[in-house]
Amino acid sequence: MTAIITSPETVQETGPAAPAPGRPWRGLLRQPLGLLSAGYLLLLVVVAAAGTLLTPRDPEADDLAHTLSGPSGAHWLGTDRLGRDVFSRLMVGSRPTLLGVAEAVLVFVVLGVALGMVAGFAGGRTDRLIARLGDLVLAVPGIIALLMVLAVFPDNNAAAMIAFGLISSPSLLRVVRAVTMAVRNELYVKAARLSGLSTPAILRRHILPRLAGPVIVQVSLFAASAVLAETALSFLGLATPETQGPSWGNMVGEAASVISVDPWLLVPTGGMLVVTVLALGLLGDTVHDLTVGRARGSAVRPVRRPRPAVRTAVAVAAADVAAAVADGAPTEQGAAAPLLSVRGLTIAFPSPEGEVTVVRGVGFDVARGECVGIVGESGCGKTVTARSLVGLLPGGGRVVAGSVAFDGRDLADPAGREVARLRGSRIGLISQEPMSGLDPSFRVGSQLAEVVRRHHRLTRRQSRARALELLALVELPDPASVARSHPHELSGGMAQRVSIALALAGEPDLLIADEPTTALDVTVQAEILNLLRSLRVRTGMAVVLVTHDWGVLADLCERAVVMYAGEVVEQAPVSDLYHAPRHPYTLALLAANPHLAAVGQELPAIPGTVPPPSAWPAGCHFQPRCGYATEECGAGAIPLVTVAGGHQARCIHVDRLEAAR
């Protein structure tokens, strides 16, 4: 498929905008406590790394003439029972403590985040297995586990802290799992799957950033507890005994042994522990607040007027394709066989009473370059049918019967491997709510370039250039400015155009538009419909349009499929449906047009409501609301029969409808 760069319209779309958020670390400068905590911890790390290079005295040098002396000019924090400088020993003793904390935090984060993301995103048996494993680890008393490790690896601080991180990781696993389960149901995550991104890419790009706040809080709290745990083990002589050098733990133990003689010795080491734990907690809270609040605030940012785009050779090639499609001339893709063929599609969802069928026996074809509309009331199965074509059924739904053939490939296989390969590349989807399909954490250009790289072997620079081309293709003014924007800075119409650009990033042959204008006002609806019509002509792609608006159907589609209560009740060319409907439901939908009502009269409506799948009547599903219903309508299943060339209806009273016209 060939793409085209067009000159953007001079009409300017505006909407609420917010200042582009900068790096969250810059906000640290406006948080005095957070900045002070970060400075203290950074200084502590430097001191621990430097070892004896920065100490004013040798931490192991004895001075028996000045034992247990208080603070003085020679010894700023006094001396211990052997006359060794307490300040120097605190500096050197920070190394084993911080190293042990770092080892525990690394294991805690790697296991907790990795297993939590996998469990929350995969669900099913994988989720249950990982959750049970975490519960099993939590059931083991932590102190017993640490003592067992130290019995096997005596005086090994690294083994003890790694074990501490391991037995503590299920607490982080639970938090990450819960957040991941909530985020995986966001529409922008489903849009990422639809774009063809792999599961690891979705986890890294769209799930992991949303975990930053909760993970930072949990890590800061765990790091503080790890400092205390390492100190306690060293205090008991189990992890870093005094013979291996000073550590904060064995210094606390030494101070405890002489507390009746010199209480001061406990103050420096205890003070360091208290300050370090407080600094970790304050820094975690500050970074969490900066991370989750960096996108807040609003302002109005002017949108610069676009410069005319340069018409390239790619545009000329696309114009040739458009002319061929407009004139009805055959193209290279214009084969006689349909691009999409759906036969006997049946979809079921799990329920406490067992599986419930929500779509039954649906069948239709879509030719190359054709626009087919699926129309009907809410609850008729339109969206479920459309999403089954790309393997994105929600809530455990599955295809239980029928076939979906796309260019000769079966998309209804239970494993879903074939549709996963085609999704986002040859098949694109536009959802009802464009803003929910965009990740709020990333700029528009970044998200679009990511999808381009997924489907085309391009460098990052080439991907960014192609993203700007796509934004120009959907006629956005100033594509560069839009690419630098976050989703919350876009208006509804701009967000819908970006969603269309994402769907076009893989250059699809088939575009599924699931009520793409529902959330937009009338003016923007018209612009989006004109854009879809223009894109069809330029690219020659086929379109399946899900809608409940007969005006949209007549404006874009050549053929229409009318669905009611999970079944196709009629399908025909759009002009035939308008002038000669052959099913009472189609006739009732057309008669319910509010524009047909005179001023002061009650708006026309179909009596009753669409029955839920669990309450479908026997025979014709529309019979309880149908004015033509007879006893024969409920005697058995009503077949879909051909009543004229290309016109099918699921009704036994076709002749009565014909006579009533």
Residue 325: pLDDT above 70?
no
Residue 176: pLDDT above 50?
yes
Domain termination site, one of 267, 292, 317: 292
How far is 598 from 591, CA to CA, in rounded Å?
A: 13
Count CA within 13 A, CB hemisphere, residue 119: 23
Q: What is the pLDDT of residue 519?
A: 61
Q: What is the pLDDT of residue 5?
A: 36
Q: What is the pLDDT of residue 25?
A: 54
pLDDT band at 27 (very low <50, low <70, confident <90, very high): low
CATH of the domain at 281: 1.10.3720.10
Tokens of 363: 């069948």
DSSP element (H, E) containing 564: strand 559-564
Residues linked to residue 398 through DSSP beta bridges, in sequence order? 348
Residue 193: pLDDT above 90?
no
Tell me the percentage of the chain whose pLDDT exceeds 90. 18
Q: What is the pLDDT of residue 129?
A: 93
How far is 292 from 59, CA to CA, in rounded Å?
A: 44
Q: What is the pLDDT of residue 660?
A: 65
Residues linked to residue 348 through DSSP beta bridges, in sequence order? 357, 398
**Is there a domain that residue 274 lies in?**
yes
Mean pLDDT (the chain, rounded): 80
**Is there a domain that residue 381 lies in?**
no
Residue 9: pLDDT above 70?
no
Tell me the average pLDDT across 606-627: 89
pLDDT in tens, 68-116: 887 887 788 888 888 888 888 889 888 888 998 999 999 999 999 999 9
Domain count, the chain: 2
> What contacts 660, CB < 8 A, 6 or more positions away?
none
pLDDT band at 28 (very low <50, low <70, confident <90, very high): low
Tell me the average pLDDT across 395-424: 81
Tell me the average pLDDT across 248-272: 85
DSSP element (H, E) containing 656: helix 654-660
In angstroms, how far is the first alpha carbon of the chain from the final one? 44
pLDDT in tens, 264-292: 888 888 888 899 989 988 888 887 777 65
Q: Pairing relation of β-strands 371-375 and 559-564?
A: parallel
Listed in sequence order, the DSSP H helices in 407-558 are 417-422, 444-455, 460-473, 479-483, 492-504, 522-539, 550-556
Let me know: does 216 contact 240? Beta carbons within 8 Å.
no
Q: Give the residue with greater pLDDT, 123 vs 15.
A: 123
pLDDT band at 10 (very low <50, low <70, confident <90, very high): very low
Residue 373: pLDDT above 90?
yes
Q: Give the residue with greater pLDDT, 167 vs 19.
A: 167
Tokens of 178: 């819960």
How far is 5 from 312, CA to CA, in rounded Å?
A: 7
pLDDT in tens, 440-474: 878 889 888 888 888 888 888 899 999 998 888 88
184 vs 153, 202, 391, 502, CA distance in Å?
42, 9, 16, 19
431 vs 17, 63, 252, 518, 584, CA distance in Å?
23, 77, 62, 10, 30
Residue 567: pLDDT above 90?
yes
Instruction: Of 19-33, 332-346, 641-655, give the lowest mean pLDDT range.
Output: 19-33
Q: What is the pLDDT of residue 327?
A: 35
> What contacts 526, CB < 8 A, 6 or more positions away?
none
How far is 575 from 560, CA to CA, in rounded Å?
A: 9
How far is 590 from 615, CA to CA, in rounded Å?
A: 25
**Is there a domain that residue 9 lies in?**
no
- The helix-helix angle for 522-539 and 492-504 (nearest 10°) equals 20
Residue 131: pLDDT above 70?
yes
How far is 414 from 404, CA to CA, in rounded Å?
A: 12
Q: What is the pLDDT of residue 365?
A: 92
Tell me the average pLDDT across 24-28: 58
Tell me the average pLDDT across 105-133: 91
**Is there a domain that residue 62 lies in?**
no
Q: What is the pLDDT of residue 661?
A: 64
Domain termination site, one of 260, 292, 324: 292
Tell me the average pLDDT across 338-356: 89
Taking the CA atoms of 151, 156, 158 and 164 in sequence, report the sign of the dihedral they define: positive
Domain termination site, one of 292, 323, 352: 292
Reduced to 3 states (helix: H, G, I; strand: E, B; else coil), residue 648 is strand
**Is there a domain that residue 156 lies in?**
yes
Taking the CA atoms of 69, 72, 73 and 77 in sequence, report the sign of the dihedral they define: positive
pLDDT in tens, 528-552: 888 888 888 888 889 999 988 888 8
**Is there a domain that residue 267 lies in?**
yes
**Is there a domain that residue 142 lies in?**
yes
**Is there a domain that residue 442 lies in?**
no
DSSP for 575-635, please give it: HHHHH---SHHHHHHHHT-GGGSPTTSPPP--SS-PPPGGGPPSS-TTGGG-TT--GGGGS
Domain housing 645: 581-595+604-661
- The helix-helix angle for 266-292 and 86-122 (nearest 10°) equals 30
